Structure 1
Amino acid sequence: MSNSYTKAAFGIVVTSPEADLLRRVIGAIELVGDVEIGLEALKAHFHGMGEDFAALFPRTAESPFDGLLDLFPDENFPILDFEIDFGEADADGRVALFFSGEQFGVETAAKLIQRCAQSALPFGFEWASDCDRLRAGEFGGGYVAISHAAVARQAQTPHPQRPSRPDAARHSPPKRHPARVDPPTLPKDEEDRPDGAEVALVGAALARLTRPNGRGEERVRKGVRTRGSSELSQGDDP
């Protein structure tokens, strides 16, 4: 089993009124998501949301907060899939916000920024798709470009997928081994012929055997032969 994620993290600077509006929107979303709150309680809460909220998220005959549902891909689940951290207002009345999440609602965040942070437009952010297991097709991402007129979302083109390990092994080229080279075969008469080193050794041995002794005799060993040669010496002492 594996888990897939859509991650994003970015900062944006808005005005103090926009930051206040965003706080009210977040509170309203939490209110709408509470199934224990009835319709009358929602109507009473809507009257305290302010004119700027009502202009951006107009009520309907069915519910005062139906205008918020357009922010979400599934209107039956109005839940923010990210967190917003609010900084303190600076001397110019600007507030730094930080959006982050591991199951980031890309579409929801883009619509929320377009409606509630118009002083920061045009604006854009990136997201990343990944997985806690190394599986093909689970990694990617994209970016969102937000303007006053539209929200453009573009997924990055993934690299061509490489075949899995079994496929790669099946289609891999065969291993190449160096060609075997057999030693040259000499003719029969050449194969049995002693080389120069052997002849030299035999000659030295014969020289020691035939060296004169103290009585003026020569020591001769009978039957001394070389491999493949005719008899070198054989017989009795002279």
Structure 2
Amino acid sequence: MEFGFNHDSFEKAVSNNHPGASYIRDGIISPDFWQHSRVKVLFILKESNGCYEPDLAELIRKAVTHNPKSKLWHRPTFHNIGRWAYGLQNFTSTAPAFELAHHHRKTALLSCAFINLKKITGGRRATEEVQKFAETYQLFLREQIRSISPDIVVMGGTYNIIKAAVLPELQKVSHRVHLHDEIPFINAFHPACTAARPDLYAQVLNSFLQYTEQSASLIRK
């Protein structure tokens, strides 16, 4: 559970507007690992897409620690998120090698936070429906992001919705990187994208590298 965020209030508001729908909690995957992480990375995706578990963060945590045959590993989404997480968590002046990130992709998830914009169950929905949900519950989503207090945010195919419905004040500062409250938001493809895994990893890490180099250049001036 993310520090200071009240899922109960969000769930009650959603239940009032969507009777019969199941609210899926998400957020910090492992509070202990999160607290000790050098770089705290939050991933924001659209929706759970077929997950009917009541707590997605708990599902991910158990998949890493106790359930190597979890259905989560049947799709590329969390493999990619884990690689990106490891790369960003261990970024210095360069990105860790893809092979190293791949090796640590599952355990890296424990130090992350993960939220969906749309919190209710159901199959894949149109982008317009996800955006409508985000618009309706903008204040809750903003508060959830704020309470998680990440160092870096990765928007997995969600930049357009976040910019339009959640954080319209996002400002582009470099290629595929935007700032809000001094936090870099990386505009990435959805992690289920069928592009080559090393290419997706390189896109995220190169975007962050370019941002850090540009920021360092401005400081030197």
Q: After TM superposition, is the score higher than 0.5?
A: no
Q: Name the structure where helix makes up a greater proportion of residues.
A: 2
Larger radius of gyration: 1
Q: Name the structure where strand makes up a greater proportion of residues.
A: 1
Q: TM-score, normalised by structure 2?
A: 0.32
Higher relative contact order (CA 8 A, sep 6+): 2
Q: TM-score, normalised by structure 1?
A: 0.30
